[in-house]
Amino acid sequence: MKIFNKILAVLFPQKCLGCKKENEILCRACLLKINRPDTPYLKGVHIAGNYQDLVLKKALWMLKYQGVKQLAKPLAELIKERVWKKLETEDWLIVPVPLSKKKLRSRGYNQAELIAKELSGNICANVLLKKFHTKSQVEVKDREERLANIIGSFEIKNPEKIKGKKIILIDDVLTTGATMREVKKVLKEAGVKKVIGVVVARG
């Protein structure tokens, strides 16, 4: 299989999503050109990029829906460049927003967790759980329905691991903000001292 993959790499070299440079999936020059968000901080959530940027949108879509896991690294680099440097992250636990078991089985991985692992080794990925599958927030247009769609869908396992801690929540895209609000509420109820959110882009 490794030999086959090497042959494929020679015949069809990977190209940067921005400049098409070979053997790069998203080169640093193109990464730094990604448009900044109109609002870099919104209701307790730090945002690294503008989802309307075509390169960023394609990178997020490929990571989330096409299984191109290696894009987690450059997307984490974007967060490091624009957000991480502003935060004092040493004493904070990093918690990726979880997927439901159904979504995780279907996709095979949690893109938020992949990004989180590229940001820090201080990850706590087995405390916050999604109890049941919900519609994607993008699919739900009405604001009240969005809130109802997500309420009660998260729970805490082993709360003693996070009680009194400070937590940075990681997700790929902030859409309505309802997911982040619900997760923050659940974490605070479990005794977490402080919670902030960090996302790659605002959709």
Question: What pLDDT, on the 0 to 100 scale, is given for residue 10?
Answer: 46
The CA distance from 22 to 13, in Å, is: 6
Give the pLDDT mean for 84-92: 86
Q: What's the chain's average pLDDT?
A: 88
Given a cut of 60, whether residue 141 has pLDDT beyond it is: no
Given a cut of 80, whether residue 12 has pLDDT beyond it is: no
At residue 150 the predicted structure's pLDDT band, cuts being 50, 70 and 90, is confident
Question: What pLDDT, on the 0 to 100 scale, is given for residue 137?
Answer: 46
Question: What pLDDT, on the 0 to 100 scale, is given for residue 108?
Answer: 94
All domains of the chain, ordered by start, with CATH?
1-30 (no CATH), 34-202 (3.40.50)
Question: What pLDDT, on the 0 to 100 scale, is given for residue 132?
Answer: 78
CA atoms lying within 13 Å on the CB side of residue 110: 20
Model pTM score: 0.87
Range scoring the smallest mean pLDDT among 74-78, 113-117, 140-144, 185-189:
140-144
Give the pLDDT mean for 74-85: 96
Q: What percent of the chain has a predicted confidence (pLDDT) above 90? A: 69
Question: What pLDDT, on the 0 to 100 scale, is given for residue 171?
Answer: 97
Question: What pLDDT, on the 0 to 100 scale, is given for residue 41?
Answer: 95
Question: What pLDDT, on the 0 to 100 scale, is given for residue 11?
Answer: 43
Question: What pLDDT, on the 0 to 100 scale, is given for residue 29?
Answer: 96
Per-residue model confidence as pLDDT tens digits over 156-179:
998 999 999 999 999 999 988 889
